Structure 1
Amino acid sequence: MTHDNTGPVISKFKSLGATRIHNPRQPVFTIDHDVQNKTAKNLQKYASIEAFGRTHGIDFYGAGRGIGHQVLVEEGYAFPHTLVVASDSHSNMYGGVGCVGTPVVRTDAAALWATGKTWWQVPRMIKVELMGKLAPGVTGKDIIVALCGLFNKDEVLNAAIEFHGDGIEMLGIDERLAVANMTTEWGALAGVFPVDEPLLDWYKKAVDKMTLRTFSGASSSLPPPPEHPRLNEGRLNSIRSSPIRPDNGAEYSSHLTLDLSTLVPYVSGPNSVKVATALPKLAQDNIKINKAYLVSCTNARASDLKAAAQVVKGRKVAPGVEFYIAAASSKVQAEVEKSGDWGALLSAGAKPLPAGCGPCIGLGTGLLEPGEVGISATNRNYKGRMGSPQAQAYLASPAVVAASAIRGVICGPDSLDLNALPQNERPVFTSSTPNTIPGASTSASPAEPLVDGFPRSFGGPIMFAPQDNLNTDGIYPGKYTYQDDITLERQAEVVMENYDPAFAKNVAEVRSSGKTAVLVSGYNFGTGSSREQAATALKAAGVPLVIAGSFGDIFKRNSINNGLVCMECPELVADLTEKYAKSGARGNGGVDGELTVQPGWELDVDMQSGKIEVKQGGKVLREYQTRPVGPSVQELWLRSPNRTKASPQTNMYSYALLAALAAPAMAQEVNTTYITGLLGALNGLGLTSLVSVASSIANNTNGTALLAQLSQGNKTVFAPNNEAFGRVPQNVSSNTDLLTSILSYHIVEGHYNASDFAREPNHTIVRTYLTNPSLVNLEGGRGQVLVIERDDGNDNDVKILFADDDVDVQRTTGYENLIVHVVDDVLTPPGTISETARQEDDFSQLAGALQTTNLIAPLEAIKGVTIFAPTNDAFQAALAALGSQAQNTSVISSVLANHVINGTTVYSSALTSQNFVSAGGQGFSFSSNSSGTYVTSGSASARITRADIPIRNGVIHRIDRVLANTESNPDAAASAASSQASVAATATSIPGQPNSPSNVPSASGSANASIRTAVAFPSGAIFSVLAAGMGALIGGMLVL
C-alpha cells in the first residue's frame, strides 16, 4: 500500500525505466494523509495518482475513504496468514488480524511495482506473553503504552514479535489492532497476534454483513465481482482449515511477559513513547491541556469513539480546550453516526475532521502551538510531530483523552474507580533471553571486500547529537513530508529542524571549510516513520555517514536505498557521551547546553576493515572497531541517486564562479546549475583546492569551454586531493591557461569504474581532453593519453602510470553523469623525450646517445612517435660489443633509427596486430609467449619490459636489449612515412575532441581493444639528420 506518497513512488517507478506494473493486484493506493488540503495543487496530485491507478488497473481509495491501514483491514487486503507491506511505518497494525504487516519505503515500493519482489534482513523473533485479565477501565492502548515504557531499552528493536498468552483472548480486535499498530513505536518490525476463535468470529460477522449489502469496490478499472473479492466465506474457511501456529518448542531470542491483571491506565510522554507514567500518579500533577485528539489509525475505530462518547455524554469540553475527532474511515464514521456516538461527541463540543491522518502527522487544522500541551489517542508524540517543537504531547486511551478534554487536565473518566484498580506500584513484567544475541563486537571484524567504485574511507569532523531515539520527526519534520516537489536544497535547510534548529547551519559551515561532517548519535537513531527524506535530507546537507549505538530498521532501510552509510559503534557513542554530554548522559544536550556538540574531533573509517580512527589536531586519540558494510549495501550505495550531491548552501568558493558564469558569453555555454552543483559536491568531498582551481578558470575562455563539456555525456574525472594541489608551484597555480590545460588532462570521455581498468601487467589507455599543442604533439591533434592498470591482487588498487612515478586512485564516487576518482597527485602532462629520459634513471644512456647523435630535436618535432628504448644495462652491453665502433656516431644513429616508428604512436596492443617500418627503413616484427612480448629488427630481438610510457609526442616501450640493426633503407622509410601521412589525412581527430577511449593491454597480454592511432607527419626533419650517418654506414648487421 502507498498513500499520499504514491506520487514520489510513481516518479521512482518511472526512473527505473519501468512501464508496466508486475502484478496490478498487488499495489493498493489510499489517499489519507493530507486530505484537509484543498488547494488546486494537492487536488491535482490526488487526481494524478488516481489516473495512474486507473491506467494500470490498481485499486484506488480516494480522500475521505479513510486511513490506508484501516481500509486495508476493512477491505480484506490485510488478512490472516498473509504478508502485507506498506510504504508507511504503521504497517505493523495488520498484525492485529494475524497478518504479518511490516513497512517498506518508497524505493522499495517502486521496485515492488516493477518486479513483485522486495528484500529483508531476517529479524530476530521475540515472544511477548500477555497473561491475565485487564481490570475495568484498562484498555489495549494502556497495554502498548506500558510495554513501550517498561521495556524501553531497545529490547525489541528491529525484531518481529509474536504475541502469546491467555490474556489475548479477552482483547477485542480493535484493541489488538491498536497494540500491533504501536509496536512500531516500541521499535519492532512486526507485531503479530494469533489467528484464534475471537478473530475468526469477528471475520464471520464481517462476511455476513457483506452478504446483506452491495459493497463498494475500489475505483480501479475492473468491474466489481459478484462477491467481495477478499472478504468471503471461501477465504475464511480456508483459514479455518489450515491454521498456522508456532512449532512446539519454538525458540525465541527473548521472552517478555506482562501480567495484565496488574496493569492500570498509562499515559505516555511528554514527547516520548519511552516514558510512561501510571495515570493515577500523573493525574496528581494536574497537568493543564490545550488540545485533545481522538484521531488516527491507532484509536479512531468505532469502539474507540464509543468509549469517548460515553465519557462526554451530557457534558461539555472544558473552556480553553479544543477537542478534535476523526473517524479512521468512512465506514467507521457511518457506524458511529448510526449509533449516536458521533453526535454525542459533537454535542460535547468536539471539532470534526475528515477521515484521515491530519494532526497525527502534523497536517491541517488543530496543530499544537508553542507552549501548548496536548493529549492524544494517536501513536506518536515525538517533539514537533503534531505541531510546534516547543509544545508537549502525551498519549493515552480514548477514554482518558475524552475525560481530559472535559476536565481540562490530564485525568481519567469519572467512571474509573481508582480503588478498584490494581494497587501495586508497577505492573508485573519479566524479561529473559535464553540465547543471548551478541552485541557489537569490539574486536576486529572480518574485512569486507570493497566493490569497485565504493570509497575506501569515509571521514570528517564529528557532530555529536547526544540523544537516544532521535526520531524521523526530529530529523525531518512531518510538515514537509508530503511536499513532493521539495528540493534537496530545501531538505538540507530543514534537516534536524525539530531536534536542533542550528544543525543545518553548522553542517553548512563544516562543508564550507572543505570537509564533510560525520553525525554520531545514540541508540535507536531514526526510529519512527518511513519518510525517506530523513535519509535524503542528511545526505543533501552533506552528511555522508551516520554512526550510532543502533538504528531504527526503517531508517536504515531508507539509508541503504539512498546511499547514506550507517554504522554502529557503541563504544564511540559511550566515550562521546562521557566527555561531551551533559551530566555524562544522553538526552539533555551537551555540557554547555548545545543540542549538537562539535568536539573538535575528526574520524576516519576504513570501509574495508571497519577500523575507526578518532583524531584531534592530527593526533590519533583512540581506535574503535565497527562492522564493515557488506557488498550488497555497497552496490546499493553505488546505484543510489545523487550519492555525493552537494549541500545547497552557497559556499565562499561559488561567488566568483557564479559571477563569471553569469557573463552573457559564458551563460550560453555553461550549465551553471550543473557546475555549481558539481563544485559543491567536490567541496563536500573535501576537494577544496580542486574547487578553487576549477573556479579560477571560469574567467578563462578555454576554461569556460572545458567546464561546458563536463555536463555533456558520460565522463570520468580524476580529481587530485588537497595535498596534491599543495605541491603545485605558485607560478603554475596562478596561470589560468596552464591550469585549464592541466585540468583537461584529468577528464576522459566515457564511464570508467575501477573494475573497467585492465589488471596488471595489462593496461587501459584512455584519451583525455588535453590537446594544447604546447603540451601535447600527437598525430591528428589527438588528446594525450593516461595509462592505467589495476593491481592483479586488489581490485581497488588502481594506478595511473608515468615515467618516473605512479599516481594512486584513493577512492571513487560519482556526480550525475560523472564518475570521479580521487587521486593522490596532480596528473602532470608527459614531458618530451629528453625530459622523460632524464626522469627515468634507466634511460640515461639513451639520453646521452640521442644527445651525441643530435637526434633529440628531430625526434621531438615528430607528431606521433614510438620509441623502443633500451635500458642502461642494454646500452652498456651493446657498446662493449661494438668496441671502437661505439665512437662512430653514424653507427649509433643508424642503430637508433631502427628503434623508432616515425609518425605513429603505437600502444602495446597494436604491436602484434600490425606491421611497422622503422625510421631506418627496416621492418619490425613482434611475437608473444609466456615470458612476454618481443620486438625484432633484422635478427636482433628484445623483450619489452615496460610498455606504454607516454611522452609529449608519442610513447616509449622499454626493452632489455639494443636492437643492433645497422641496416638502412631510406626509400622504404620515406615510403612508410608517406603512407602513414596519407592515413592521417582521413583519420585525424577534430581538434579539441579526444578519441573514444579503449582498453589496451600491455604487450605481455592479449588485446581487449586497440586504439587506432592516426598518422600526421608534417616534417621529414629526422631524415635529414639520419641521412648523413646512413650514407657512411658499413652495411650489415651487428649482432650483440
Structure 2
Amino acid sequence: MLPRPARFRQAQREFRRGLATVLQTGAVPQTYIEKIVQKYAVGLPPGKQVRAGDYVMIQPEHCMTHDNTGPVISKFKSLGATRIHDPRQPVFTIDHDVQNKTSKNLQKYAAIEAFGRTHGIDFYGAGRGIGHQVLVEEGYAFPHTLVVASDSHSNMYGGVGCVGTPVVRTDAAALWATGKTWWQVPRMIKVELKGKLAPGVTGKDIIVALCGLFNKDEVLNAAIEFHGDGIEALGIDERLAVANMTTEWGALAGVFPVDEPLLDWYKNAVDKMALRTFSGASSSLPPPPEHSRLNETRLNFIRSNPIRPDQGAEYSSHLTLNLSTLVPYVSGPNSVKVATALPKLAQENIKINKAYLVSCTNARASDLKAAAQVVKGHKIAPGVEFYFAAASSKVQADAEKAGDWGALLSAGAKPLPAGCGPCIGLGTGLLEPGEVGISATNRNYKGRMGSPQAQAYLASPAVVAASAIRGVICGPDSLDMNALPQNETPVFTSSAPAPASGASTATLSAEPLVDGFPRSFGGPIMFAPQDNLNTDGIYPGKYTYQDDITLERQAEVVMENYDPEFAKTVAGVRSGGKTVVLVSGYNFGTGSSREQAATALKAAGVPLVIAGSFGDIFKRNSINNGLVCMECPELVADLTEQYAKSGARGHGGVNGELTVQPGWEINVDMENGRIKVKQSDEVLREYQTRPVGPSVQELWNANGTYMTGLLGALNGLGLTSLVNVASSLANDTNGMALLAQLAQGSKTVFAPNNEAFGRVPQNVSSNTALLSSILSYHIAEGRYNASDFAREPSHTIVRTYLNDSSLVNLGGGRGQVLVVERDDGNDNDVNILTLTDDVDVDRTATYENLIIHVIDDVLTPPGTISATATAANLSALVGALQTANLVAPLEAAQGITIFAPTNQAFTAALAALGAQAQNASVISAVLANHVINGTTVYSTGLTAQSFASAGGQAFSFSTNATGSYVTSGASSARIVRADIPVRNGVVHLIDNVLANTASNPEAAASAAVSQSSVAATATSIPAATNAGGSSPTPSNNASIRTAGGLPSAAALFSIVATGMGALLGGMLVF
C-alpha cells in the first residue's frame, strides 16, 4: 500500500499523462496502442507523434520480474547501480518453481525478498499466485497504462486494456537503474471479432483457432488491437485468455478495448475491495484504507477520459473471425500452429495419460467453475492424472467458497499450489516419454511440459476436464456437437493495404563496419529444418531457473528438446577449429523471454543464426548478448528443397535427422550482406541479405550488456540527467556510435552532474545531434586517474572524441582537447581549464574500462579564433585581424598555433605603428610573426621541437623564475596564459608583440607576407607526438599557468553557437 503522498503523486502523474494523450490533436491518426505508448515515451521531440516503426525510450508504469529476479539483481549490481530509480516501478512475484522446497531454492527466494524489502519494492511471495494474474488483481496492469514484464506472457495485460509487452532480463536491470528502456513500436494489426460465440465455445477456443487459422506469421512481432461487436459478450477472463496467448500467435501485444463491460468489472472489483475487511454489513469497524491502485478515483478518471483509436488510424493488416461460426478447437500435438476442430479430433479417440488445468491462461475462477461443472458426479478415468491449480491464492479462495475446488478434489483431481508448475516443466506431474497430455495452458511445445518424447494438446478447461474423466480427448456431455455451427472451418478473412504506387525494391545498401566488428562470419552450416523452433526447444525450461548454471553447461544442453545430439555435433565441429552457422526456418526463437536461448547457442560455438524470420524477444536477447541474427528466406528455401524430408520443414532431414549437416561452408560479408555458399571449394550460390546495422555491431562489440551497465553505474552516482541524455542519444546515429565507442579500450569520461545539466539551455538539451557532439567532448582516449594530471602550473593535454567537422578543424581527424591540471596543494583537486571558471572534478569512480570523473559543469566545445578572442577580451587582436582581412583564412586553416598579445600589449604596438596600424600588409606581417601554421602546439610540446612562424621567423622558448617566454627575432614575450583551445588550434596569451614595432616599423613591414601565406601551410617543424594528438599517454612537460578575468557561461555557449547555426539551420538561440 502506497502512503497517501505517494498515491497523490501517482494520481498527478496519471492525470498529466492521460490529459496529454486526450488533448493531443495531431494531424496523423493514431491507434490505441500508439496513444498509450505516446503517454509513456520520454525524450520525444516537441510535437512528435508515436507511430509504428519508431524507436522510442519508454518509461513503463511497472516492470514485473518473477523467479528470474535473481539474475536481474546480479545484472543490476554488475552495472554499479546501488539504488532503484523508482521503487514503485518494479514488482517482484515468485511463481515459477514454487513446488521446489530445496534449501537452495528457498534461499534464492529469500534473497529476492530481502532485496525487494531493502529497496522498497512490492514483493509477492511463493503461493500468492502467477505474476501476471497478481498484476491484474492488484491493479498494476490497468486500463490506459503501459506495463512490461521480463516474461513473454505480459501480453495478457491487454485483456484489461493495458498495453502489456515483454522485455528481457537486461532491459529489466536497465529499468531498475534508469526507469527507462528502448522499444521499437511494432506494426499494428486490427483483429475484428464478429458475432457471438455458440454455447460451449470459449475464449480459449478463439485464440487456439486464431493461432491455427492464421499460422503463416501474419502477426509475427506485431501489436494486435481487438475490435468488433463480438467483444462485448466476452467475459474479462476470456479476454485475458485470448490476450495471454497472442504471445504464442507471435505478437508482442494483444489489447482489448476499454469498454463498459470492463469498467463494470473493475467497479465490481473495487466494491469487493472496499468490503474485504468487514465481517458483515453491520460491522462497526472503520472503513479500510483505499487501495493505492484499485480505487474509485482511478476508475472514474479512466471512465471520464476515454482513449480510443482515431478514425483513419493505420493498421498493417486487418484480420477477421466470425465467432458465430466457431466450434471448440484443440491445438497440437506439440504445436500451437496446428489446430483441429474438436468434433473432428474427437473422432480419433486419442487416449490421454495426464490432464492439466493450470497457468496464467486458464486457471481463473470461471475456468475452475467450468471444469468443476464437468466433473461433478464423475471420477477421473483410470490411468489418468488430472492436475489443477489456481492462478492465484485469491482465485483459489473464491473457488473454494463457490464449491468448485471441492468438486475437483472429489472427482480425484490433484491440487497444486498457485504457480506455473507443469506449464513451465517444473514440479509434480510432468509428461513422461510416450505419454499424451491435454492442458488448458498456453504452450504445448515439444518437451516443455516434460519429456520431448511426449505429446501435448491444448484446449479449454471444459474440454480438458471432460477428457480427464473419459480418458480420451473429447468434449463435455453438455456440449451438443449437432447444435454447434456446422462450418467445416470458421469464417475468417485477411487483408492488408495495397502497397504505395511506385514502391521499389531497391538494392540493400552496405553498412560500414564499426571498429572491432568482424568483417565476415563463416563456417559449416548446420540446418534445422523446422519453423517455429521455440525457446523451449533451444533451451529447456527445466534449466531456466538454475541461476548458477555455467555457460559451459548451457552449451551442453542447448537444443536438447529439439535435437539431443545437437550439442555434441557442434562440439565435434568446434574441435576442428571451426564455428558453426545455424540455419533454420521461420519464427525462430518464438516463445519465452529466457535469454539463455541466445547465450547457450553462443556458448556452444554458434556466433550467427540465419533464419527466414525471428521471434522479436529472441532477437532482442540475441542483440543484447552478442549473438548475430540475419534473415535470408532464399537460403532457407534452398536448404529445405535439397535436405528436408519431402522438401518441407517440420519432418527433419531426408533421413529423418533433426539437424542436417549438408556439407556446405558459408561465408557472410557483414558489410555488404553477401552470403557465399561453397561445397568442396566450389561456390554453389550467392545470396543477398540485409546487413546488420551499426547499433547491433556496437552491441556485439560490447557483448550486449555494457551500455546497460554503464547507465546503471551513472545512475548509482546520482547522475540521472546524464543518464537521460545518454539514453536519448540512442535515437541519433552519431550518438549511438559515440556510446558504443565507450566499450572499446581504456577511456576517461568527464561526467557533468545534475546541476550542470540544469544550466544547459533548453534548445541545446533538446537537440540530440548537438548533444552528441558536446558529450563527445567529455570522453577521452586512455585512463586518466587524478594522479596522472600535471600539478599546476603545468597542464595535461587530454585528447577527446570531439571531431565533428562543424566544431573541430585540427586536421588529420584529430579530436579537440581538454586542458587539465591538478592543484599544487591537493592531489585530488583536479580542474579543467576553460574560458569561464575552471570546471572542478567532484569525485571519481570506475566502470569496467572507464574512469569517470564527475564534474560541476558541462564542457562546451571551443569556438572560432575570433569568437574566442572576443570572449577573452582581446578586442585589439580582433580589430587587427579584421584590418588585415585575416579572420577567414586563419579560421579556415587546419591546425594552427597563435601567440596572441593581450589588449594592453597590442594597443601599445598599434600606437607605436601610428598610421601604419591601418596598413593591412604591415598588420599582416606583424600577425604572421605570431602564428605557427599547420601545427597545433600546446604547452606540453613548446620546448620539445623548434618551430618557425608563418612569417619565417624562428621561435625559441625559455622558462625562468618569472615565467615562460617566447622569443622571435629580437623581441620576447611572457606567456601569461597557455593552452586556450580554439576550433582549429590553440591560443597562448602573451604580454608583448613579437616585433620591435616601436623603434622600427619598417623592419616589421619588411617581414610582410601575403594574407594567404599566413593561412597557408608554412615552414614549420612538427610538434611533439603528444602535441599532435596521436598518443593518448598523459603528458605534462611545460609549466605555464592560466589567468583570470574571463567571460560568463552564457558567452561560452555563444561561442559554440557560432558556426553551429549554419549547420543546424539557425536553430541555436542563446
Q: 2: distance between equivalents of 1:293 and 1:563?
A: 38
Note if contact 1:589-1:596 (Cα within 8 Å) is conserved in structure 2. Answer: yes
Note if contact 1:127-1:255 (Cα within 8 Å) is conserved in structure 2. Answer: yes
Match of 2:542 in 1: 479
Pick from 135, 160, 165 the counterpart of residue 228 of structure 2: 165
Partner of 2:683, secondary structure, is: strand
Match of 1:244 in 2: 307
Residue 167 of structure 2 corresponds to residue 104 of structure 1? yes
The structure-2 alpha-carbon separation of the partners of 1:150 and 1:1008, relative to structure 1 and needing over 3 Å to count, comes to same
Report deviation, 1:641: 5.8
Alignment map for 1:780-859 (pairs within 5 Å): none
Code of the residue aligned with 1:160 in structure 2: it is: A
Match of 2:640 in 1: 577
Partner of 1:309, secondary structure, is: helix
Match of 1:359 in 2: 422
> Radius of gyration: which is bigger?
1
Q: 1: distance between equivalents of 2:183 and 2:507?
A: 26
The structure-2 alpha-carbon separation of the partners of 1:230 and 1:1001, relative to structure 1 and needing over 3 Å to count, comes to farther
Match of 1:120 in 2: 183
Report deviation, 1:341: 0.4
Pick from 384, 388, 404 the counterpart of residue 451 of structure 2: 388
Q: 2: distance between equivalents of 1:369 and 1:283?
A: 23
Report deviation, 1:635: 2.2
Match of 1:654 in 2: none
Q: 2: distance between equivalents of 1:929 and 1:508?
A: 67
Q: 1: distance between equivalents of 2:1028 and 2:250?
A: 56
Note if contact 1:254-1:434 (Cα within 8 Å) is conserved in structure 2. Answer: yes
Note if contact 2:277-2:288 (Cα within 8 Å) is conserved in structure 1. Answer: no
Residue 473 of structure 2 corresponds to residue 410 of structure 1? yes
Code of the residue aligned with 1:480 in structure 2: it is: Y
Q: 1: distance between equivalents of 2:685 and 2:471?
A: 54
The structure-2 alpha-carbon separation of the partners of 1:50 and 1:1010, relative to structure 1 and needing over 3 Å to count, comes to closer
Partner of 1:148, secondary structure, is: helix
The structure-2 alpha-carbon separation of the partners of 1:614 and 1:1000, relative to structure 1 and needing over 3 Å to count, comes to farther
Report deviation, 1:818: 10
Pick from 423, 433, 437 the counterpart of residue 374 of structure 1: 437
The structure-2 alpha-carbon separation of the partners of 1:564 and 1:909, relative to structure 1 and needing over 3 Å to count, comes to farther
Note if contact 1:912-1:927 (Cα within 8 Å) is conserved in structure 2. Answer: no
Partner of 1:169, secondary structure, is: coil
Report deviation, 1:927: 5.5
Code of the residue aligned with 1:126 in structure 2: it is: I
Pick from 384, 400, 416 the counterpart of residue 337 of structure 1: 400
The structure-2 alpha-carbon separation of the partners of 1:910 and 1:336, relative to structure 1 and needing over 3 Å to count, comes to closer
The structure-2 alpha-carbon separation of the partners of 1:569 and 1:282, relative to structure 1 and needing over 3 Å to count, comes to same
Match of 1:82 in 2: 145
Report deviation, 1:601: 1.3
Q: 1: distance between equivalents of 2:102 and 2:782?
A: 57
Tell me the alpha carbon deviations over residues 820-865 of structure 1, each in whole angstroms, 9 at most, x when there is no partner.
xxxxxxxxxxxxxxxxxxxxxxxxxxxxxxxxxxxxxxxxxxxxxx
Tell me the alpha carbon deviations over residues 465-486 of structure 1, each in whole angstroms, 9 at most, x when there is no partner.
1100000000000000000010
Code of the residue aligned with 2:219 in structure 1: it is: V
Tell me the alpha carbon deviations over residues 26-64 of structure 1, each in whole angstroms, 9 at most, x when there is no partner.
000000000000000100100000000000000000000
Report deviation, 1:554: 0.7
Q: 2: distance between equivalents of 1:928 and 1:271?
A: 82
Tell me the alpha carbon deviations over residues 491-542 of structure 1, each in whole angstroms, 9 at most, x when there is no partner.
0000000001111111111111111111110000000011110001001111
Structure 1 range deviating more: 523-532 or 584-593? 584-593
Code of the residue aligned with 2:533 in structure 1: it is: L
Code of the residue aligned with 2:517 in structure 1: it is: F
Match of 1:399 in 2: 462
Alignment map for 1:481-630 (pairs within 5 Å): 481-630=544-693
Alignment map for 1:911-950 (pairs within 5 Å): 913=941, 925=946
The structure-2 alpha-carbon separation of the partners of 1:609 and 1:234, relative to structure 1 and needing over 3 Å to count, comes to same
Tell me the alpha carbon deviations over residues 773-792 of structure 1, each in whole angstroms, 9 at most, x when there is no partner.
xxxxxxxxxxxxxxxxx9x9
Match of 2:527 in 1: 464
Report deviation, 1:215: 10
The structure-2 alpha-carbon separation of the partners of 1:431 and 1:1009, relative to structure 1 and needing over 3 Å to count, comes to closer
The structure-2 alpha-carbon separation of the partners of 1:95 and 1:1006, relative to structure 1 and needing over 3 Å to count, comes to closer
Q: 2: distance between equivalents of 1:765 and 1:210?
A: 60
Match of 1:174 in 2: 237
Match of 2:699 in 1: 636
Residue 324 of structure 2 corresponds to residue 261 of structure 1? yes
Note if contact 1:254-1:435 (Cα within 8 Å) is conserved in structure 2. Answer: no
Report deviation, 1:455: 1.9
Match of 1:278 in 2: 341
Report deviation, 1:629: 1.4
Q: 1: distance between equivalents of 2:340 and 2:498?
A: 31
Residue 246 of structure 2 corresponds to residue 183 of structure 1? yes
Pick from 135, 146, 149 the counterpart of residue 212 of structure 2: 149
Q: 1: distance between equivalents of 2:951 and 2:433?
A: 79
Pick from 76, 79, 82 the counterpart of residue 16 of structure 1: 79
TM, length-normalised to structure 2: 0.61
Code of the residue aligned with 1:607 in structure 2: it is: M
Q: 2: distance between equivalents of 1:765 and 1:138?
A: 67
Report deviation, 1:605: 1.6
Code of the residue aligned with 2:410 in structure 1: it is: S
Match of 1:746 in 2: none
Report deviation, 1:214: 3.5
Code of the residue aligned with 2:581 in structure 1: it is: V
Note if contact 2:217-2:587 (Cα within 8 Å) is conserved in structure 1. Answer: yes
Q: 1: distance between equivalents of 2:672 and 2:1027?
A: 34
Residue 97 of structure 2 corresponds to residue 34 of structure 1? yes
Note if contact 1:444-1:609 (Cα within 8 Å) is conserved in structure 2. Answer: no
TM, length-normalised to structure 1: 0.63
Match of 1:204 in 2: 267
Alignment map for 1:887-926 (pairs within 5 Å): 913=941, 925=946
Note if contact 1:441-1:626 (Cα within 8 Å) is conserved in structure 2. Answer: no
Report deviation, 1:383: 0.0
Match of 1:889 in 2: none
Partner of 2:675, secondary structure, is: strand
Note if contact 1:449-1:608 (Cα within 8 Å) is conserved in structure 2. Answer: yes
Partner of 2:264, secondary structure, is: helix
Alignment map for 1:223-242 (pairs within 5 Å): 226-242=289-305
Tell me the alpha carbon deviations over residues 654-698 of structure 1, each in whole angstroms, 9 at most, x when there is no partner.
xxxxxxxxxxxxxxxxxxxxxxxxxxxxxxxxxxxxxxxxxxxxx
Report deviation, 1:1005: 4.6
Q: 2: distance between equivalents of 1:634 and 1:714?
A: 12
Report deviation, 1:1008: 4.8
Partner of 1:508, secondary structure, is: helix
Q: 1: distance between equivalents of 2:1023 and 2:679?
A: 45
Pick from 65, 83, 96 the counterpart of residue 2 of structure 1: 65
Tell me the alpha carbon deviations over residues 165-217 of structure 1, each in whole angstroms, 9 at most, x when there is no partner.
1100110000000000000000000000000010000000000011112499x
Partner of 1:622, secondary structure, is: strand
Match of 2:794 in 1: none
Code of the residue aligned with 1:176 in structure 2: it is: R
Note if contact 2:525-2:582 (Cα within 8 Å) is conserved in structure 1. Answer: yes
- Flag structure 1 segments of 5+ consecutive residues without an equivalent: 217-223, 644-712, 717-763, 767-789, 793-797, 799-815, 820-907, 917-923, 936-998, 1015-1040
Code of the residue aligned with 1:65 in structure 2: it is: R
Partner of 1:612, secondary structure, is: strand
The structure-2 alpha-carbon separation of the partners of 1:533 and 1:437, relative to structure 1 and needing over 3 Å to count, comes to farther
Tell me the alpha carbon deviations over residues 941-969 of structure 1, each in whole angstroms, 9 at most, x when there is no partner.
xxxxxxxxxxxxxxxxxxxxxxxxxxxxx
Between the two proteins, the alignment pairs up a number of residues equal to 689
- Flag structure 2 segments of 5+ consecutive residues without an equivalent: 1-63, 280-286, 707-742, 747-780, 784-802, 806-811, 813-846, 851-935, 957-1021, 1038-1070
Code of the residue aligned with 1:582 in structure 2: it is: K
Q: 2: distance between equivalents of 1:166 and 1:134?
A: 11
Q: 2: distance between equivalents of 1:212 and 1:1011?
A: 71
Q: 2: distance between equivalents of 1:4 and 1:539?
A: 24
Note if contact 2:274-2:288 (Cα within 8 Å) is conserved in structure 1. Answer: no
